């Protein structure tokens, strides 16, 4: 990871993500099902670590109607150096440089003297225009109208155009149940003005906002200055929750760690109690049973611990986890969720529902 780029090399192919918004790019080692369990059963020699990219935007106050989005350009190459470079021209336009050629991506309608399109997204190449979610396009004296929004390709050299349904990825069948292979909806020809692409690109390049030509700077909200250190937990935190633990009307915090430690602290950061669970803590919750606060702990080692509000264990149970019952598709191991359910009405004892 360097600057606004994240590169991944795999079997001679490099994938590159170039980020063009104000988010910060961070990486972390993710802990989960893939490394610990899935690879034990499947012959997959890669990814001994889950090195994951995370893009983060600082929490900001937004006004009604404001939008925030992530803008990434994804590319691949068989060389060790990225062959694609991109820059934002304005809030709606990206210029992508590939092998010395300019490709424009426009998240908006397009309007110049020779072409107008109401599409919501456009890709402008040297000899082709691709438009998505289009109902009406004017190319010189030719007007193309579509009843339903389409994906439209225009060959600006030969003057041919072809449209596709928006749901092109869905397979359609004829009356005999056979898949319909022809996925085009309409095609035709039109007269293309000289230098249409060049003039369109020139028009788009003139709209550049100099403040966006480099990666935008992160807006500071100064929330960080308001953080106060209350408590230092002895191990890496794996789960947490809040709740009125001791009945004083104030929410306390319960923290669970990767080695099974569970601690409850009050709003001042003082430890109320400590409990040692069996295995990494996947979830800890405070739930009311007959107006009494009860703490439920779910662990990776398939244990359910139930504690009273003082941290004393009421009981624990090992959930059956033989080969037939083990979940194989989740990202976490063991017991992951515990919830109370009044299956037979509020006047009857609740059931404890355990998820894996």
Domains and CATH numbers, the chain: 1-80 (no CATH), 90-208 (no CATH), 234-355 (2.130.10.10)
The pTM of the full predicted model, rounded to 2 decimals, is 0.66
Using pLDDT thresholds of 50, 70 and 90, give the confidence band for residue 326. Answer: confident
pLDDT digits (tens, 9 = 90+) for 278-288: 999 999 999 98
Q: Report whether pLDDT(214) > 70.
A: no
Query: What mean pLDDT, rounded, does the chain reach?
Result: 87
Which pair of structure tokens corresponds to residue 47? 């990814």
Do the Cβ atoms of 168 and 184 come closer than 8 Å? Answer: no
Using pLDDT thresholds of 50, 70 and 90, give the confidence band for residue 338. Answer: very high
Do the Cβ atoms of 180 and 172 come closer than 8 Å? Answer: yes
pLDDT digits (tens, 9 = 90+) for 51-101: 788 999 887 788 898 888 899 999 998 877 767 899 999 889 999 998 889
pLDDT at residue 173 in the model: 86
Dihedral (CA of 327, 331, 333, 337) sign: negative
Using alpha carbons, select from 76, 134, 84, 141 the residue that is nearest to residue 106.
134
The highest-confidence range among 43-47, 235-239, 325-329, by mean pLDDT, is 235-239
């Amino acid at each position: 990871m360097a600057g606004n780029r994240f590169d991944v090399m795999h079997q001679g192919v490099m994938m590159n993500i170039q980020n063009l918004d104000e988010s910060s790019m961070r990486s972390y080692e993710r802990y989960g099902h893939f490394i610990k369990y899935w690879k034990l059963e499947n012959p997959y020699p890669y990814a001994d670590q889950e090195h994951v990219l995370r893009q983060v935007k600082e929490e900001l106050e937004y006004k009604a109607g404001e939008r925030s989005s992530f803008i990434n350009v994804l590319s691949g190459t068989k060389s060790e150096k990225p062959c694609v470079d991109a820059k934002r021209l304005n809030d709606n336009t990206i210029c992508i440089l590939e092998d010395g050629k300019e490709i424009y991506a426009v998240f908006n309608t397009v309007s110049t003297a020779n072409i107008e399109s109401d599409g919501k997204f456009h890709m402008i190449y040297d000899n082709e225009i691709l438009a998505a979610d289009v109902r009406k396009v004017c190319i010189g004296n030719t007007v193309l109208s579509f009843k339903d929004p389409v994906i439209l390709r225009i060959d600006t050299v030969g003057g041919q155009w072809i449209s596709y349904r928006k749901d092109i990825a869905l397979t359609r069948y004829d009356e005999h149940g056979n898949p319909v292979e022809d996925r085009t909806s309409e095609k035709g020809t039109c007269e293309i003005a000289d230098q249409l692409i060049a003039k369109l690109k020139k028009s788009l390049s003139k709209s550049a906002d100099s403040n966006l030509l480099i990666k935008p700077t992160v807006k500071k909200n100064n929330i960080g200055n308001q953080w106060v250190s209350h408590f230092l937990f002895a191990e890496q935190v794996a789960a947490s929750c809040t709740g009125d633990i001791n009945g004083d009307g104030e929410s306390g915090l319960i923290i669970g760690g990767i080695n099974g430690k569970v601690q409850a602290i009050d709003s001042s950061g003082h430890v109320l109690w400590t409990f040692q669970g069996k295995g990494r803590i996947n979830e800890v919750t405070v739930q009311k049973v007959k107006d009494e606060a009860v703490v439920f702990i779910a662990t990776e080692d398939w244990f359910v611990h139930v504690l009273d509000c003082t941290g004393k264990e009421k009981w624990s149970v090992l959930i059956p986890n033989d080969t037939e019952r083990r979940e194989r598709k989740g990202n976490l191991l063991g017991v992951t969720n515990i919830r109370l359910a009044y299956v037979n009405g509020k006047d009857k004892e609740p059931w404890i529902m355990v998820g894996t």
